[in-house]
Amino acid sequence: MELSARRTPSAEKSTLAVDWQRCVALAKQGAAQGVKAWFAASEVRGGNVNGAVGHLTPGSLQSRGFFRQSMWTVMAAGGLHDLISAAFADAVWESWQAWFAGYEIMLDYPSLAAVECAMAPLAANKPLQFSAGKSSAHDRMSSAQLAAVIEKKLLSLAAEPGAYEACCQVSDWLSACFSRWHSTVLLMKVMASGPVPSYAPPHTMCGPVVGGVLSSPRPVLADLGLFDPEK
C-alpha cells in the first residue's frame, strides 16, 4: 500500500533520536529469522477426520517457534531502544500467531472411506494448496493492519520523523513475503487415523473412520526461501 494512502499519526513528539532505516533493516532481519524458525517447528496437533474428509480446525496448526523474543533480541542487539524493539517484535509476533491460530482447511483422505480393520493405519492427506484454507484473522497479515499495530505500540515514538515510514516499509515487506508464500506453498503429510466402529467381521468387513484425529511430523510447512530480508 502506498505511504500516501495512510494517515500520518498525530502523537506527541519524542526527543529520542532514532535511525529508522536501521530499524527497518533490523526488523526485517529479526522477522525473517523468526518466521523461518516458526516454520521449522510447525506441526499439526488436532482437527478431526470422518470417512474421507478431514478438518484441520482452528488452533490445530501450531509451532514451538515462539519468535517474539528472538526478534526483539536481534533489534536490541543492533542498538535500538527497547521500546522500539518490543513494538516491532510484539506486533509481528501477535499478528503472525493470530493468523495461524485462526486457520482451517478441509483435507481429503480417500483411503479412510472404507477401511478393512478396526483401527485405520496412518494415512497422508492428498496434497493441496495451502491457500485453499482460510483464517478467521485473515486481515492480521495485511500491510495496513501490521503498520497500524506497530504504530500503536510505538506510542509517542510514532510521531518521530521517519517512524511512520519505517512501520510501512516493514509491514509492506512482510505482508508481500507472506502473500507470495501463502499462494505458493502446498499442505501435505498431514496424517490421519482413527477407529472404524462399523467394522464387524464376518458380517461387515470394512467401514469409514469415525472420530479420527490429525497429526503431522515437523515441519509440516516450509518457508520456501520467500522471507528474504533483502527483498
Residue 74, classed as helix, strand or coil, is helix
pLDDT of residue 16: 67
CA atoms within 13 A on the CB side of 176: 12
Query: Do the Cβ atoms of 9 and 154 come closer than 8 Å?
Result: no
Q: Which grid coordinates belong to 17?
A: 533520536
Q: Which grid coordinates belong to 214?
A: 490429525
Residues 6+ apart with CB under 8 A from 129: 183, 185, 186, 187
Q: Which grid coordinates belong to 60?
A: 490445530
Distance CA 71, CA 3 (A): 25
pLDDT per residue as tens digits for the range 121-157: 999 999 999 999 999 999 999 999 999 999 999 999 9
Which helix H or strand E contains 159, and what residues bound it? Answer: none
Per-residue pLDDT of the chain (231 residues; tens, 9 = 90+): 433 334 434 334 455 689 999 999 999 999 999 999 999 999 999 999 999 999 999 999 999 999 999 999 999 999 999 999 999 999 999 999 999 999 999 999 999 999 999 999 999 999 999 999 999 999 999 999 999 999 999 999 999 999 999 999 999 999 999 999 999 999 999 999 999 999 999 999 999 999 999 999 999 999 999 998 876
pLDDT of residue 229: 87
Distance CA 73, CA 5 (A): 32
Of 220, 225, 226, 223, the closest CA to residue 107 belongs to 220
Query: Do the Cβ atoms of 124 and 190 come closer than 8 Å?
Result: yes
Left if phi > 0, otherwise alpha if psi is -120 to 50, otherwise beta: which for 59? left
pLDDT of residue 17: 81
Residues 6+ apart with CB under 8 A from 161: none
